[in-house]
Amino acid sequence: MSLADLFTVVAVSAGAVFFLAGTVGLLRFPDALTRLHALTKADNLGLGLVVLGLLPRVDGVLGGLKLVAIWLLALLAGAAVSQLIARAARSPGPRG
Amino acid sequence: MTEALNVGLALVILALALWTVVARDTFAAVVGFVAYGLLLTLVWVQLRGIDVALTEAALGSGLTGALLIRAAARLRKTESAARAERPGVLTRIVALLAAGCVTAALAVAVLALPDPAPTLAPETADNLAATGVGNPITAVLLAFRAMDTMLEAIVVLFALVGVWSLAPDRAWGGRPGPLQRADPDGILAYLARALPPVGLVVGVYIFWIGADLPGGKFQGATILAAMWLLAVMAGLADAPPVSRTWLRLALVGGPVVFIAVGVAGAAYAGAFLAYPDGLAKPLIKVIEWALLPSLAVTLALILAGVPERTST
Amino acid sequence: MAEFLLGASGFVLATVAFGLARILWGPGDADRMMAAQLLGTGGVGALLLLGAATGEGGAVDVALTLALLAAFASVAFFKSASEARADEAADRG
């Protein structure tokens, strides 16, 4: 296996581990705010490592830029939406 | 490996669909529906239907999800009354039989499909070069079956008219939706400032590449509409009164251009929506550029809702 | 390599599908919104891996669209949930 392939395997595996951690946290942590914390790890690191692992496989700079742009977009949206979800969690509504 | 992935995906989708139907809380059901749309997008990618996957992600999951959540919000006051209803045993049996019959009919229809399925794909591939576009989906939508696309664009307009017809008399021609108030320094306003420029570029990009790669005006228009709606939800923009002339012109502009090209085709090329030789690609471009803003405005206004405030 | 990427995609999907359980339990709107957010990000990740495994270039564009619309849907959910709270507070007080 070439060095690039090895890098892809390692990075993607690490990313998958973070997705797993995000889900386990979402399911097992005791309250909404701690669950939110687990979720953002999946967003940042899980997706970031997956994108990093796929970068050696793209053809051309444009492809690589697109992948990084997707990650940055997910980061931005995730960060903002996490704040909104936290607000919803702190003042529980009609459904608790 | 692919088989395992597909089977897993199918099982999760079925389970999620079942749960969405059975869920008691409307909000939870809508979230389940959006998740279902997300998974369906993956199915479409597995089936190599990238154009459909794009449409499912944009319209089926995102925009329809937002539409459903607004509908759920309007029905919130009646939810407890609806939950207290208990249909009688006879009603349930009749419903069970009806659902069973429909399922059986569908199963028979699907299992009785001819194998190999009849298809026009080879003919489409043969005549692709004449249309000047590289994406066979775009060629079918805008050249071989342009009539369907034109009628779609008009149907969406009718849907909007239907939404407007729900306006109370005093708000006729007014601004759709309640006035959104959000902290101008808050996180929602920040997101609504940072995301729409990116969304604008992505929307136009998806529209642009539709000629030769998966994409097109419907998906691009949906992204543009979603970005504008984001600004409205954050209180950074307000929906215009629906009686404004420029708004109405923007809405009908696309379909009018489409019909005009069709009539010109009847005059110059022998049939409604026929393209003269060599002019296929430019005409397709004209139709697409006219339809993009119209579709974006129509979809955005359908989601903006019923006119509720008198125009001031 | 394609097999590995396909497997990774399936793994990400499976873990995220378990997050769906939070939609089922989730006492409260916040948990439900979180599950949808996780599915959005996981879906993007799985899509990118699927696209790389099958050589399907369009999957990246689908992932891009999904990321944008998932953010939009999340905001729509939040607005609806906060309006529900405002209504509830107005009814009570």
pLDDT over 60 (residue A38): yes
Residue B311: what pLDDT? 64
Is there a domain that residue B112 lies in? no
Give chain B's domain count: 2
Say what the pLDDT of residue C93 is.
61
Residue A96 — pLDDT band, cuts 50, 70, 90? very low
Decide if B104 contacts B112 (C-beta within 8 A): no
* Domain identity same for B180 and B301: yes
Q: Does B27 touch chain A (CB under 8 A)?
A: yes
User: Which residue in chain C is spatially nearest to A32 when comparing CA positions?
Assistant: C31
Residue B106 placed within a domain: no
- What average pLDDT does this structure show over B301-310? 87
Quick check: A94 pLDDT over 60? Answer: no
Chain C residues in contact with A4 (beta carbon < 8 A): none
Within this chain, do residues B203 and B292 fall inside the same structural domain, yes or no?
yes
**Residue C45 in this model has a pLDDT that exceeds 60:** yes
In whole angstroms, give the CA distance from residue C44 to residue C63: 5
Are A93 and C42 an interchain contact pair (Cβ–Cβ within 8 Å)?
Answer: no
- Please tell me the predicted confidence (pLDDT) of residue B40: 93
Count other Cβ atoms within 10 Å, centred on residue B137: 18
Contact A54, C2 (CB under 8 A): no
Question: What's the rounded mean pLDDT across residues C20-24?
Answer: 74
Share of chain A above pLDDT 90, in %: 33
**Is B301 in the same domain as B209?**
yes
Please determine, for residue A27, whether its predicted confidence score (pLDDT) is greater than 70: yes
Mean pLDDT for the stretch of residues B96-100: 95
Name the 3-class secondary structure at B181: coil
Give the length of chain A: 96
Which letter does DSSP use for residue B117 in this model?
P
Same domain (yes/no): B283, B146: yes
Q: What are residue B307's phi and psi, to 5 degrees?
A: -60, 125
What is the structure's pLDDT at B13?
A: 92
Can you give the pLDDT at residue B64? 92
Q: Does B68 touch chain C (CB under 8 A)?
A: no
Give B 198-257 residues with CB within 8 A of chain A.
198
Look at A23 and B312; give whichever has higher pLDDT: A23
Find the mean pLDDT for residues B187-199.
Answer: 91
Distance in angstroms (rounded) separating the CA atoms of residues B203 and B212: 16
**Based on the domain organization, do B75 and B207 belong to the same domain?**
no
Q: Determine the average pLDDT of the residues in B200-208.
A: 93
Beta strands in B152-272 (DSSP E): 175-176
Three-state DSSP at B307 gives strand
Greatest Cα-to-Cα distance within chain B, rounded to the nearest angstrom:
66
Contacts of residue B219 in chain C, CB cutoff 8 Å?
65
Mean pLDDT of A11-39: 88
Q: Where are the domains of chain C?
A: 2-92
Q: Rounded to the nearest 10 degrees, what angle do helices A61-90 and C29-54 cross at?
A: 170
- Structural domain including B263 reads 133-312
C 24-53 residues with CB below 8 A of B?
A: 24, 26, 29, 32-33, 35-36, 39-40, 43, 46-47, 50-51
> Measured between CB atoms, which of C52, C74, C84 is closest to A81?
C74
Model confidence at B193: pLDDT above 80: yes
Q: The tokens 């030789």 sit on which residue?
A: B277
Q: How far apart are CA B142 and CA B67, in angstroms?
A: 28
Distance CA B79, CA B306 (A): 20
- Whether pLDDT at B312 is above 70: no
The least confident of B40-49, B164-173, C78-87 is: C78-87
Give pLDDT tens digits for B279-303: 888 888 889 999 999 999 999 999 9
Q: What average pLDDT does the segment B137-166 reach?
A: 90
Rg (CA), chain A: 16
Mean pLDDT of the B178-207 span:
87
Is residue B138 domain-shared with residue B209, that is, in the same domain? yes
Cα separations in angstroms, A74 against A47, B271, C69:
8, 48, 11
Give the number of residues written for chain C: 93
pTM for this prediction:
0.90
> Quick one: closest CA in C to A74, which residue?
C67
| β partners of residue B247 | none
Instruction: Please indicate, yes or no, whether residues B54 and B161 belong to a single structural domain of this protein.
Output: no
**Look-up of token digits 């790890």:** A41
A12-16, A26-30, B90-94, C23-27: range with lowest mean pLDDT: C23-27
Backbone dihedral region of A78: left (phi > 0), alpha (psi from -120 to 50 degrees) or beta? alpha
Distances from the Cα of B242 to the Cαs of B155, B164, B299, in angstroms?
18, 8, 14
Per mean pLDDT, which range of B85-89, B116-120, B168-172, C19-23 is the poorest?
C19-23
Find residues 264-293 of chain B whose CB sits inside 8 Å of chain A.
Answer: none
Average of pLDDT values for B12-16?
91
Higher per-residue pLDDT: B220 or A58: B220
